[in-house]
DNA sequence: CTGTTAGCGCGTTCAA
DNA sequence: TTGAACGCGCTAACAG
């Protein structure tokens, strides 16, 4: 049960002062002979600097907070994977927190992030969040909004959701469908609202009547869908705003014993490995996750490193329509 | 740009000593009047304790490290989601790291975890890892192996992989198939090896000849599969050891213009939302992720809290075969 | 270029 | 019960 070695131990063994060790470790120039002895001592003692002490002393924890609704879906799990990699390149560790779209949990997590003194935060905020909510707890910490846009006070990186919604809708219209429904759960979520707005724009521009099918949760959405499918005014095509909505649509169809390809064309959001293998192969809007994450992390680290003093900026990236069979193509 | 308030600030405003504030914050009894004044001061100053200072002082960072191969698949993303929730219940934050099955990255991450002084570690180690590799860097930190079993020195939580492999294979045999291939990428991974062992047991017990189709990466696996499918000794059914292998099988079939249901029955591992909607609906072994995570985290926290001094134990949980159509059922 | 010193904010002595 | 004082390990400031 021996103590972990400290700079002092290394200093003694290398016959130098503690600050010389500190300098050496951080890449500042020291006398070559000393450098060798320090390196040797570090090795033989198995010394590793203590980040908690560094953080206390320096005010920087080399830690960034990632606060998302959840990670158990394609979009967020790929995002967090990349965030971790990008953070590592900048010498930071990721503290991962999920709020499940519950405001109370998000608030709690924000104070957690404050307590841990994270150097920066990436957040996909729950609907209704204001910049004041965040600044009350994290007054001076760089924050980048990811996949949502809840305040002009923060740098934000989002999909061109409205365009994506419009493009997907226009694609269906071009296939000749006129009665197109737009379905989503959690309609209060920013990106879904934008996608829906794009859908409505596209519909109205062609003189078609928008038809939103939404529900607070997915059980209710299932009901709403079943009702719609059975009704006589049943839509001839659907735009689904999330992978989960797509899943709900398809399984509802399945339960009713209907195959969607022949019965009802569909375009969804978010691509994933099995999308081409679903029956029918899914036409989707793919989000450029890699770019989104990279922009978000770059922006964050430029703020952290104090290289950027401009006003907050919003970066919007285009989605890509990937045509497979579910929309009626092929 | 005012300083963050500290215990001292709170102490002054409440007309008490700093240690009284500290006691109050940690739930130790203090004079009732003082308690009220402290609470008021905390509120009005917007005070939040600094975890980095706590960690330095107390030697506990209230942080646990989660080191996984990746998070961008169903199994790990659901796991990490639950780990985060469980950690929160115990007042800890999760530092998430991924090693992509690269030993060098894993080693680097282990030292990262040491530097951050994490209180405990959950690890899905890359193949070839030894307990010495870990203890060299983290001599005194509780470590729980998750989804792999690389050393009896650590508490471990894993699926009954061998049983699961056997059961899945027996299921196919019961359907009357005799020439069953077992396909996986990354055959060096612990859980795949176990599942393969179960497959071989089941085959040999029935006097059938095992037929492993493996490859180091998925591009090669695709080739191997294509070759197998075209050959005259083509297997009549397949057992896939991971969702990624399943994906590879199905898309290879697709490229060759074959539909698997009629052509080749299949059982896979890991259930996911779209599994019933794939063509054909996938029969899979579902891992009890919730239980696995809960056991892992419970074990870890019992070690951290010093409630457990027994030798390391291995917890193995049964998988559940979920029959859909791809195996030939229905 | 170097070593000594003084905190960073907290929890834990210890004596009152 | 309380408050004063020390030190966790590190780095920035300072004087050599």
B310-328 pLDDT tens trace: 999 999 999 999 999 898 8
Residues with CB under 7 A from strand D: A 3-4, 6-8, 18-19, 21-22, 25-26, 47, 49-50, 53-54, 56-58; B 15-20, 23, 29-31, 34, 53, 56-57
List the single residue in A with minimal CA-CA distance to B77.
A72
Please state the separation of Cα B315 from the chain's center in Å. 14
Torsion of the alpha carbons at A143, A188, A291 and A284, rounded to the nearest 10: 170
Res. A254 pLDDT band, cuts 50 70 90: confident
Q: Please provide the DSSP assignment of B187-253 as one string.
A: TTSHHHHHHHHHHHHHHHHTTPPPEEEEESSHHHHHHHHHHHHHSTT--SEEEESSHHHHHHHHHHH
CA atom of B20 to C1′ atom of C14, Å:
15
**Residues B181-202: what's their mean pLDDT?**
96
- What's the predicted TM-score (pTM) here? 0.94
Instruction: Give residues with Cβ within 8 angstroms of B222, minimum separation 6.
Output: B248, B251, B252
The CATH number of domain B7-49 is 1.10.260.40: yes
pLDDT-derived band at A118 (thresholds 50, 70, 90) equals very high
For residue A115, what pLDDT band results from cuts at 50, 70 and 90?
A: very high
- Nearest residue in A to B116, CA atom: A51
**Is the pLDDT reported for residue A2 higher than 60?**
yes
DSSP for A109-122 reads HHHHHHHTT-SEEE
CA distance B191 to A109: 34
Q: Is A96 helix (H, G, I), strand (E, B) or coil?
A: strand
Q: Look at residue B2 in the predicted model and tell me its pLDDT.
A: 63
For chain A, where do the domains classified as CATH 3.40.50.2300 start and end? 61-159+289-317, 161-287
Q: CB of B304 within 8 A of CB of B119? A: yes
Q: If pLDDT is split at 50, 70 and 90, which confidence band does A61 have?
A: very high
CA B268, B274, B278, B284: dihedral to nearest 10 degrees?
20
Any residues with CB less than 8 A from the CB of A56 and at least 6 apart, and which?
A: B50, B52, B53, B56
Structure tokens at A308: 């950027």
Secondary structure element (H or E) that encloses residue B144, with its range: strand B143-146
pLDDT of residue B164: 98
What's the pLDDT band for A279 if we cut at 50, 70, 90?
A: confident
Report pLDDT for A259: 63
Report percent pLDDT > 70 for chain A.
Answer: 98
CA distances from B17 to B1, B3, B48 (A): 26, 20, 17
Residue indicated by tokens 């994450």? A293
Write out the CATH class of domain B161-287: alpha beta
* CA-closest candidate to residue A181, choices A215, A221, A203, A210: A210
Q: CA triplet A84, A89, A90: central angle to 5 degrees?
A: 100
Question: What are the start and end residues of each CATH 1.10.260.40 domain in chain B?
Answer: 7-49
E strand or H helix that includes residue B289 = helix B289-304
> Are A140 and B111 within 8 A, CB to CB?
no
Q: What are phi and psi of B13, to 5 degrees?
A: -65, -30
Residue B76: partners with Cβ closer than 8 Å, 6 or more residues away? A77, B68, B69, B70, B124
Instruction: Could you please state the CATH topology (level 3) that the domain comprising B61-159+289-317 is classified under.
Output: Rossmann fold (3.40.50)
| Residue A104 CB neighbours (<10 A) | 9
**B27 falls in which pLDDT band (50, 70, 90)?**
confident
Percent of chain B with pLDDT over 70: 98
What's the CA gap between B27 and B22, in Å, rounded? 9
Which residues in chain B are contacts of A70 at CB distance < 8 A?
A: 81
Q: Which one, of A20, A25, A23, A19, lies nearest residue A42 by Cα? A: A25
* Dihedral sign from CA coordinates of B5, B10, B11, B13: positive
User: What is the model's pLDDT at position B256?
Assistant: 82
B258 pLDDT higher than 80: no
What is the average pLDDT score of chain A?
93
Segment of A151-165, A262-276, B25-39, B243-257 carrying the highest mean pLDDT: A151-165
A51 CA → D13 C1’, Å? 21
Residue B215's beta-bridge partner residues? Answer: B185
Q: What is the pLDDT of residue A28?
A: 85
Instruction: State mean pLDDT over B87-116.
Output: 97
Nucleotides in chain D with any atom closer than 7 Å to protein CB: 1-5, 7-13
Residues A158 and A147 sit within 8 Å (Cβ to Cβ): yes
Give mean pLDDT, residues A95-108. Answer: 97
Query: What are the residues whose beta carbons fall under 8 Å from the beta carbon of B174, sequence distance 6 or more?
Result: none
Decide the pairing of beta strands A283-286 and A320-322.
Answer: antiparallel
- Put simply, the answer to whether B85 touches A73 (Cβ < 8 Å) is no
What is the average per-residue pLDDT within A181-194?
Answer: 96
User: pLDDT-based confidence at B305, cuts 50/70/90?
Assistant: very high
Residue spans of alpha helices (H) in chain A? 7-14, 18-25, 32-45, 51-58, 74-89, 103-115, 131-137, 161-174, 190-205, 218-230, 243-255, 260-263, 289-304
Cα A34 from Cα A21, distance rounded (Å): 9
Q: Which of B72, B106, B251, B324 to mutate to test the interface with A (most CBs of A within 10 A)?
A: B72
Q: pLDDT tens for residues B194-230?
A: 999 999 999 999 999 999 999 988 889 999 999 988 8
The whole-angstrom separation of Cα B265 and Cα B283 is: 9
Give the residue-averaged pLDDT of A198-219. Answer: 95
Sheet holding B283-286, edge to edge: B211-215, B180-185, B237-240, B266-269, B283-286, B320-322
How far apart, in whole angstroms, are the C-alpha atoms of residue B66 and residue B123? 6
């Amino acid at each position: 049960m021996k103590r972990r070695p400290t700079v002092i131990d290394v200093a003694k063994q290398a016959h130098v002062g503690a600050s010389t060790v500190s300098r050496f470790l951080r890449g500042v120039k020291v006398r070559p002979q000393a450098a060798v002895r320090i390196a040797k001592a570090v090795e033989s003692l198995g010394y590793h600097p203590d980040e908690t002490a560094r953080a206390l002393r320096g005010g920087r924890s080399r830690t960034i907070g990632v606060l998302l609704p959840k990670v158990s879906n394609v979009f967020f799990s790929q995002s967090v994977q990349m965030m971790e990699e990008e953070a590592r390149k900048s010498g930071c560790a990721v503290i991962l927190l999920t709020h499940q779209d519950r405001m109370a949990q998000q608030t709690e997590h924000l104070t957690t992030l404050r307590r841990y003194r994270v150097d920066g935060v990436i957040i996909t905020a729950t609907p209704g969040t204001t910049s004041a909510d965040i600044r009350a707890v994290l007054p001076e910490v760089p924050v980048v909004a990811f996949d949502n846009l809840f305040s002009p006070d923060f740098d934000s990186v989002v999909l061109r959701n409205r365009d994506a919604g419009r493009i997907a809708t226009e694609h269906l219209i071009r296939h000749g469908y006129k009665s197109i429904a737009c379905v989503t759960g959690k309609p209060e979520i920013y990106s879904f609202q934008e996608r829906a707005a794009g859908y409505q724009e596209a519909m109205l521009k062609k003189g078609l009547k928008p038809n939103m099918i939404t529900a607070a949760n997915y059980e209710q959405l299932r009901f709403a869908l079943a009702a719609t499918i059975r009704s006589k005014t049943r839509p001839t095509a659907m735009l689904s705003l999330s992978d989960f909505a797509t899943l709900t649509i398809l399984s509802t169809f399945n339960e009713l014993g209907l195959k969607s390809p022949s019965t009802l064309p569909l375009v969804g959001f978010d691509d994933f490995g099995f999308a081409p293998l679903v029956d029918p192969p899914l036409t989707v809007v793919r989000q450029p996750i890699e770019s989104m994450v990279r922009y978000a992390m770059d922006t964050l680290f430029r703020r952290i490193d104090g290289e950027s003093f401009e006003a907050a900026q919003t970066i919007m990236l285009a989605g890509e329509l990937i045509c497979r069979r579910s929309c009626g193509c092929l």
